[in-house]
Structure 1
Amino acid sequence: MLTPLETLKLYPPHAGTLASLLQSRAAVAGARECLVFQGRSLRYAEVLKQVERTAGVLARQGVGAGDRVGVMSHNHPSSVFVLCALAWLGATMVPVNPDYGVEEARYVLEHAQVAGVVCSPHALPTVTAACQAWPVAPWLWLNTPAEGVDLPVLEALVAREDAPQPPPPSTEADATCVFIYTSGTTGFPKGVMHSQRSLVMAGEGFVARMFLQPDDRLLCVLPLFHVNAIFYSFGGALAAGATLLLEPRFSASRFWQVVHETGATEVNTIAAASAILMRRPRSEFVPGHRLRKIYGAPFDAETYGVYQQEFGVPTLIEGYGMSEVPGALNNPFPGPHKVGSMGRPSLHPDPALSLAELRIMGDDGGFLGPGEIGELVVRTPIVMQGYFRDEAQTRAAFRDGWFLTGDLAQMDADGYFWFVARKKDIIRKRGENISGAELDRVVGQHPAVLEAAAIPVPSELGEDDILVAVVLRPGQVAAPQDIAQWCRERLAAIKVPRYVAIVDALPHTPTHRVAKFKMREDGRLRARAVDLGA
């Protein structure tokens, strides 16, 4: 097994941009598989050619440095090509959840001020409705053909013999290349801006985190609108010169068949996916697979036991990161592993380059010692450039150069960090950060609702489920099912509450804010709520 630094040194030096990283890998491994999707295999030289041609057609469309283009699709090779091509031009990709409702999509696309959108046929009706009332509508391309739809198709534009040559690739490693929209405590998503250098360094960090080898085959079942898939699976595969096995989305029933058929050696998961697979019929498991490494969190002792002893996967690595600070912590690949911990600060393969520093900060801004509980703070070169069009939130996210995670944690005597609780009004469900404030606002707009408050409650799949407590207006009637349907019509399915409790009143602080901490401590609230997922 090569060390992470030996893996990186297989390739010529790069300039910290996505284009230079891809060119570096193609120079040595041009004939090696780079990207596999539904039986289609592209080698590094072929991916580089696709990126160049995509950059050419985007430039002809008028896309240049600083422009932003939305991408709304389930996982597809076009998302990889567009990301790299936009970076080639010094432009920015704005990935959007393809399962968003119209209002959610409209907010993100308008807030990001996109010049155009590349979407799948599945997402086309949502994108069309979201952009309908714009004074100047963004241009719109499909990533694959759709019968009866008269729109340019990216695949066809790139395949044309007269496809234009791209301009020289951008050399600005600090140019913003991607926005990751993440739920905020204000109730509106925040556009987390990351540079090309940040993405490239995160990919190299993932080589160290998982000891990636050039012959590794990274299965990507998480969505390419999240930091995990972009910065770890894609970035890590590219940094190692390895192979990215791209799946449209996670399928629990087919997971082990896909692992076996693709020869996957590494996969990233989230807590809910890991828990679901543990509870699936063992008849779906396919022995003889090559999967040897899983990255995710949290993993408890039961998870280690099932995956190592029943599923035959020897190495599980827990880690911690956020859209703002990807890859901050992990249990060291060589060990020792502390089950259930967030791990130690992540390392870069090159010992001359430092990555994350982490401390526990008290309310007064001072640092706390081992065993003391406070807010986890991070200082790292892999940090967001800020929140797009939100200087106030950007300033509030930092204190004396440290990023404030909003998570309470403690550090043990060995330097391992342990999660305690969330400080922010964020619900973590199936790998998604869901804003409690957003749910409060949407449910509160129901004509029968006087006040609403959403809180996380433990899920049997790990992480959280959503409980919404509702106070009705005098004389109004609404059933929990009505509240859920109201949410379904306005929010992505993952944000629809599982539990709805109709209550007489909500607890408040002296400043008249809803005291959600009291709601979380009230065990009777969940007991009296209607379980709509039962």
Structure 2
Amino acid sequence: MENLIEHPWYSAYPDGIERHLDFPECSLYQMLENSVEIFGEQTALIYQGEQISYQTMKDKVDRLANVWDELEIGKGDRIGLMVSNCPSYVYAFYAAQKLGAIVVQMNPMYTPREMEYITNTVDTRYLVTESKYLEKVAQVAETNPFKHVFVIDDEKRQNFDVQSIPSLIQSQQRKQLEPTVITPKEDIAVIQFTGGTTGKMKGAMLTHYNLVANVIQSYLMYGEEMKKGKEVTLTCTPLYHVYAMTSGMNLSIYLGASNILVPKFQVDRVLELIQTYRPTFFPGVPTMYNAFINHPDVESYGLNCLKFCSSGSAPLPIDVIHRFEKVTGATIGEGYGMSETSPSTHRNPTQGVRKIGSIGIPFPGTDSKVVDVEGSELPPGSVGELIIHGPQVMKGYWKNPEETAKSLKNGWIHTGDLATMDEDGYFYIVGRKKELIISGGFNVYPQEIEGVLYEHPEVKEAAAIGIPDDYSGERVKAYVVLNEGAKTTSGELTNFCQERLTRYKVPKEIEIRDSLPRNSVGKLLKRHLVKEEQYRNTEAR
């Protein structure tokens, strides 16, 4: 009874899950070896019509590791991966893990300045990229010279010293190269940079143990319905993002699933892939689910093959969940995660009670609390900061002890998100600590306002922020993108909010616009909206 009082979510776990778990201390490469031994001849990757078996995939990983070993790339060396979803990403990722090197995840959309910051911060001397990005790679190399640059294609668009990964793999002779000895709890596998919402980007150090544990936790949360060797994953979210790396790539390998790699999300193309390959698992983001429900012919593509859908990177509006599930028959398991936690920590269980609008319950082996500003745990129903403890929590930020000390206290990661927990142990995110709007002394949570706006049938996207106000301290402003052909006005949306929100929560201004600023994985960039308002205020003076 004591455990249920302290951890009320235990009773919501799928059948067969132990309350206290010991996760295996193995490397990511060992995880790959284990799956190849079991599923060797089954399809591991599907890319642009080509199907690649587990055995072939491992053979290419090993050949690339041989090449890199000859180039004296070894344990602890940082290798930047700046590519779209493709088999070469997988080969490079796992070749690095075999050698004990550290993968540095890099968004291909980074500017040269951002690339320079990351390569400087972690001393990245090796880079895997695409030929079309070589121009900006050359700019970075002027001040941050790379020892070796590799491209995933054979095309070279400028005079730059690069080597082609497909050519290197093809020319390399097979030889026995023993994997580097790894200490899973200590050795870093991946440096995942945070989005920089609080300033300069920070490199979260994720160990082999962190990442393997999170894969197993994810699998357990799906319950007995998820079958090893039987699933087909559709990975459209970019693998350089921690969510896709774990839920799209690593979980698929652990499961022995076939993984359809999509370099760019285009809704018509993705629907065709669903119709052709009948995937069972789709780790998506809100913009993708929005695209599905707004496609005029979505019901004709048979999305009922999707048994498991998850959503990450940003909160998923309740209205989008209902509409997606109505038109497809699929179920979305909304959850929570962050770069610092490998990334997943909470999810609504596939079996048992699902509470739409919540982030669900903590993963097996994960503890979670809502605390006040002093760090004291708050009772159910109270709003405070969400903190998390578990095997997936990062080792710290790369060479940044000050920020590590702020975020990681006694093994607990302080998320910066405001949350509440109900009596059953289900958690709800109500906003970011830094996004909390205080208007006339009242706390206003942007997510509540956005949720109301999403209820309007003509609203496609919504965002709310606080802007300075001489009278109330801050006033609420909302930004809305309408569905195609919609005629709703700002005044009508204000009236809609007035019928559903307390007076001080109603936006004082609603701006209708063509789009909202988002990053490459669909995460809303509210800081850009804040900067817009700051610029407008400066111009008005």
User: Which structure has the highest helix share of the two?
Assistant: 2
Matched residue, 1:356: 366
Matched residue, 2:431: 421
Q: 1:113 aligns with which of 112, 119, 123?
A: 123
Matched residue, 1:213: 227
Deviations 1:83-118 (A, max 9, x none): 111111111011211111111111112212112111
Deviations 1:171-205 (A, max 9, x none): 33231111111134552111111011111111111
Aligned residues: 440
What is the RMSD of the two structures over their aligned residues, measured on CA atoms? 3.2
Alignment of 1:96-135 (within 5 A): 96-134=106-144
Q: Cα 1:80–1:425, aligned 2, differ >3 Å: closer, same or farther?
A: farther
Q: Cα 1:158–1:146, aligned 2, differ >3 Å: closer, same or farther?
A: same
Deviates more, 1:41-50 or 1:492-501: 492-501
Q: Does 1:303 align with 2:320?
A: yes
Structure 1 counterpart of 2:232, which letter? R
Alignment of 1:445-524 (within 5 A): 460=481, 497=528, 500-501=532-533, 502-504=535-537
Structure 1 counterpart of 2:212, which letter? V
Alpha-carbon shift at residue 494 of structure 1 (Å):
8.1
Q: Is the 8 A contact 1:36 1:42 kept in 2?
A: yes
Alpha-carbon shift at residue 151 of structure 1 (Å):
2.5
Q: 1:268 aligns with which of 259, 279, 283?
A: 283
The CA distance in 2 between the partners of 1:204 and 1:457, in whole Å, is 40
Structure 2 counterpart of 1:141, which letter? F
Q: Is the 8 A contact 1:260 1:289 kept in 2?
A: no
The CA distance in 2 between the partners of 1:84 and 1:51, in whole Å, is 6
The CA distance in 2 between the partners of 1:163 and 1:459, in whole Å, is 56
SS in structure 1 at match of 2:131: coil
The CA distance in 1 between the partners of 2:15 and 2:142, in whole Å, is 49
Q: Is the 8 A contact 2:63 2:173 kept in 1?
A: no
Alpha-carbon shift at residue 335 of structure 1 (Å):
2.1
Q: 1:282 aligns with which of 292, 297, 303?
A: 297
Q: Does 1:316 align with 2:326?
A: no
TM-score, normalised via structure 2 length: 0.75
Q: Is the 8 A contact 1:185 1:424 kept in 2?
A: no
Q: Does 1:143 align with 2:127?
A: no
Q: 1:396 aligns with which of 406, 409, 429?
A: 406
Structure 2 counterpart of 1:207, which letter? Y
Alpha-carbon shift at residue 411 of structure 1 (Å):
0.5
Structure 2 counterpart of 1:153, which letter? S
Alpha-carbon shift at residue 59 of structure 1 (Å):
1.0
Q: Is the 8 A contact 2:78 2:123 kept in 1?
A: yes
Give aligned-pair identity as a percent: 26
The CA distance in 2 between the partners of 1:399 and 1:336, in whole Å, is 32
Q: Is the 8 A contact 1:202 1:232 kept in 2?
A: no
Alpha-carbon shift at residue 459 of structure 1 (Å):
5.3
Alignment of 1:372-411 (within 5 A): 372-411=382-421
Structure 1 unmatched runs, 5+: 7-12, 348-354, 430-435, 437-454, 463-486, 507-527, 529-534
Q: Does 1:226 align with 2:241?
A: yes
Q: Cα 1:228–1:120, aligned 2, differ >3 Å: closer, same or farther?
A: same
Q: Is the 8 A contact 2:299 2:327 kept in 1?
A: no
The CA distance in 1 between the partners of 2:33 and 2:16, in whole Å, is 19
Matched residue, 1:524: none
Q: Is the 8 A contact 2:397 2:404 kept in 1?
A: yes
Alpha-carbon shift at residue 363 of structure 1 (Å):
0.7
The CA distance in 1 between the partners of 2:157 and 2:311, in whole Å, is 42
Q: Is the 8 A contact 2:80 2:127 kept in 1?
A: yes
Q: Is the 8 A contact 2:119 2:125 kept in 1?
A: no
Q: Is the 8 A contact 1:275 1:461 kept in 2?
A: no
The CA distance in 1 between the partners of 2:354 and 2:274, in whole Å, is 25
Q: Cα 1:342–1:79, aligned 2, differ >3 Å: closer, same or farther?
A: same
The CA distance in 1 between the partners of 2:248 and 2:84, in whole Å, is 15
Matched residue, 1:253: 268
Q: Is the 8 A contact 1:73 1:122 kept in 2?
A: no
The CA distance in 2 between the partners of 1:460 and 1:345, in whole Å, is 33
Q: Is the 8 A contact 2:298 2:327 kept in 1?
A: no
SS in structure 2 at match of 1:414: coil
Deviations 1:450-480 (A, max 9, x none): xxxxx99555599xxxxxxxxxxxxxxxxxx
Matched residue, 2:358: 341
Q: Is the 8 A contact 1:203 1:237 kept in 2?
A: no
Structure 2 unmatched runs, 5+: 1-13, 18-22, 437-445, 451-464, 466-475, 484-516
Q: Does 1:168 align with 2:184?
A: no
The CA distance in 1 between the partners of 2:293 and 2:243, in whole Å, is 21
The CA distance in 2 between the partners of 1:141 and 1:165, in whole Å, is 23
Structure 2 counterpart of 1:52, which letter? D
The CA distance in 1 between the partners of 2:477 and 2:178, in whole Å, is 49
Q: Is the 8 A contact 1:51 1:84 kept in 2?
A: yes
The CA distance in 2 between the partners of 1:163 and 1:275, in whole Å, is 46
Deviations 1:25-62 (A, max 9, x none): 11111111111111121111111111111111111111
Alpha-carbon shift at residue 262 of structure 1 (Å):
2.3
Matched residue, 1:179: 191
Q: Cα 1:401–1:197, aligned 2, differ >3 Å: closer, same or farther?
A: closer
Q: 1:239 aligns with which of 254, 262, 277?
A: 254
Q: Cα 1:43–1:162, aligned 2, differ >3 Å: closer, same or farther?
A: closer
